[in-house]
A and B are shown apart, each in its own frame.
Chain A
């Protein structure tokens, strides 16, 4: 039986040790905002870190102060596939994000103004290095598992390569070992939409008391489109029109146009998502290519990883298709690594990784049992289920 976590209060870790970024720049100090669910056991062996996707944040489960459920609440909680009666689940807002962790929208202590475009571009590796500080702070020597979808899945791969002894299991969902030219091209169109918005002001829009709403909305429309499958859009909208008669103008004619505009508008006006963060996250995705340091040989790259892997892909995902997950699986098989792979039948495209699905939930539950089995035995049974955190 599953129950809900209740309202979760985010926490912030102030990190005073400087972070050397992939770009060569140094971030002297920074904050990471995170949430936790469940209880860390006595030997700190039940920690799970969830890595969020492009527009995600640290609020992955339970309710926030406005009673909004976390972005993966379906899968995390008491009795859910990632069972908070068993695990201590952590999720942090990525560095450069805009929901609490230091990023373009936070104050630069050196200038007293928001960073804006002066915030350095960070990479997946930088995120992993910063999250490693959080790991130390929480007193966790080794994560029982790292779990991430899409961009979060890439972060999990980076963790497994950079800190092999710091995780037992790596769960990589709807991800890819690097972006394709098409993936980068989509990101570039999104960035151009934002950067050519007259309200962008070279990234200093907050100083001008405005935000590049149009650009953000267009970036989101494009992004959203790539997360859906052709079949599902066909089933949902087809060629359905707003009005019976053709209008022969440039207003919304088809329902799908209306839907996309609504999605873009909602993102740009209600999500409070910083445009510079959007640019930064897409750049971090573009730069992600761990094999580039190993003669572009993914097998050699993943030879460093010692975690057990569970790789998941979705049949209609064309943003990061099953073929991309295959590349990861093949590289792991080349190393005789412990790896399981599931290809989930879903009509929902890339978005499927966030949605309820029996097969997905089934393999997830089954695999998480394995994560529990690999935890030291005295810790597998917590005496009492932790109460919902109020």
Chain B
């Protein structure tokens, strides 16, 4: 079995074997390949980057080269086509995360999403004490060259879920090394660096 990142390992634990998966921003296809070989899932990856696209095709994956900023998911997939729609570390780079979230919920029964927490104390401290946009291991960019155009905190994300009638089924908050600490479970929005969410539409 190929080596996978701790984040992908955590996601894998949420996936039922033999389910149908769509991986948005699948990169070189590492997660999807792992899910296929280990859990017998079927499905597709979507990726905009040409070089990663080639790597994903090399892995024998079904990968659709697409820009999610100019195409809707429903241009490709019918309602409830997948058991899971996954998007790792990409929500904050799309032009309208709220709309994409709705699209994902229409396409998949559950969605799994991971993103960096802008509310982490280091980010807050840099802004508060230095008066600069934060630069950390999780967010290494300058304000002017960052692809992360829609940063949010865990609280922001959960507020959006509440507003859109989205139920949080599971949440894991970890540090940049993808480890959990006691502090993170007490004050996740202060101490958590990365969050993994599994959400679905609220049943009426």
Contact = CB atoms under 8 A, between A and B. Distances in A.
A340 B61 contact: yes
Interface string B29-68: 0000000000000101000001101110110111111100
Nearest to B54: A362
User: Most A CB atoms within 10 A — which of B42, B51, B55, B65?
Assistant: B65
B77 interface: yes
Main secondary structure of the interface of A (DSSP, over half): helix
A339 B66 CA distance: 13
B32 to A, nearest CB: 12
A334 B63 CA distance: 15
Given A345-B50, A359-B50, A366-B54, A326 B75 contact: yes
Given A345-B50, A363-B57, A367-B57, A340 B76 contact: no
Given A340-B61, A370-B60, A359 B54 contact: yes
**Which of B50, B63, B75 lies at the interface centre, i.e. has the most chain A CB atoms within 10 A of its CB?**
B50
B78 interface: yes
B64 A341 contact: yes
Interface string A321-352: 00000100110011010111111010000000
Nearest to A333: B76
Interface in A98-124: none
Given A334-B78, A345-B50, A359-B50, A329 B64 contact: yes
B33 to A, nearest CB: 13
A370 B55 CA distance: 12
A330 B76 contact: yes
A196 interface: no
B66 A373 contact: no
Contact of B65 (A336, A338, A343): A343
22 contacts: A329-B64, A330-B75, A333-B76, A336-B42, A338-B62, A339-B44, A339-B64, A340-B57, A340-B63, A340-B64, A341-B63, A341-B64, A342-B65, A345-B50, A359-B54, A362-B50, A362-B51, A363-B50, A366-B57, A366-B58, A369-B58, A370-B60
Contacts of B63: 340-341
Nearest to B46: A341
Contacts, number: 53
A180 to B, nearest CB: 18
Contacts of B66: 341, 343
Interface in B65-85: 65-66, 75-78, 81
B58 A340 contact: no
A367 B58 CA distance: 6
A86 B78 CA distance: 39
Contacts of A310: 57
Interface in A348-372: 359, 362-363, 365-367, 369-370
B106 to A, nearest CB: 15
Interface residues of B, number: 21
A334 B77 CA distance: 7
Contacts of B54: 359, 362-363, 365-366
Interface residues of A, number: 23
Given A363-B57, A370-B57, A340 B75 contact: no
Contacts of B58: 366, 369-370
Contacts of B60: 370, 373
Query: Which of B42, B55, B76 has the most CB atoms of chain A within a 10 A radius of its CB?
Result: B76
Contacts of B53: 342, 359, 363
A222 to B, nearest CB: 31
Nearest to A309: B62
Nearest to A337: B62
A293 B61 CA distance: 32
Contacts of A333: 44, 64, 76-77, 81
Give the most central of B54, B55, B77: most A CB within 10 Å.
B54
Nearest to B64: A341
A143 B44 CA distance: 25
Contacts of A363: 50, 53-54, 57
A352 B50 CA distance: 16
A295 B36 CA distance: 35
Nearest to B20: A336
A339 B54 CA distance: 14
Q: Which of A326, A340, A345 has the most CB of B within 10 A?
A: A340
Contacts of A339: 44, 62, 64
Given A339-B44, A363-B57, A365-B54, 18 more contacts: A329-B64, A329-B76, A338-B62, A339-B62, A340-B61, A340-B63, A341-B64, A341-B66, A345-B50, A359-B50, A359-B53, A363-B53, A366-B54, A367-B57, A370-B57, A370-B58, A370-B60, A373-B60
A170 B42 CA distance: 20
A367 B76 CA distance: 21
A340 B50 CA distance: 13
Contacts of A341: 63-66
A341 B60 CA distance: 13
Contacts of A370: 57-58, 60
Interface string A126-154: 00000000000000000000000000000
A225 B75 CA distance: 30
Contacts of A373: 60
Contacts of B44: 333, 339
A342 B53 CA distance: 8
A326 B75 CA distance: 9
B120 to A, nearest CB: 36
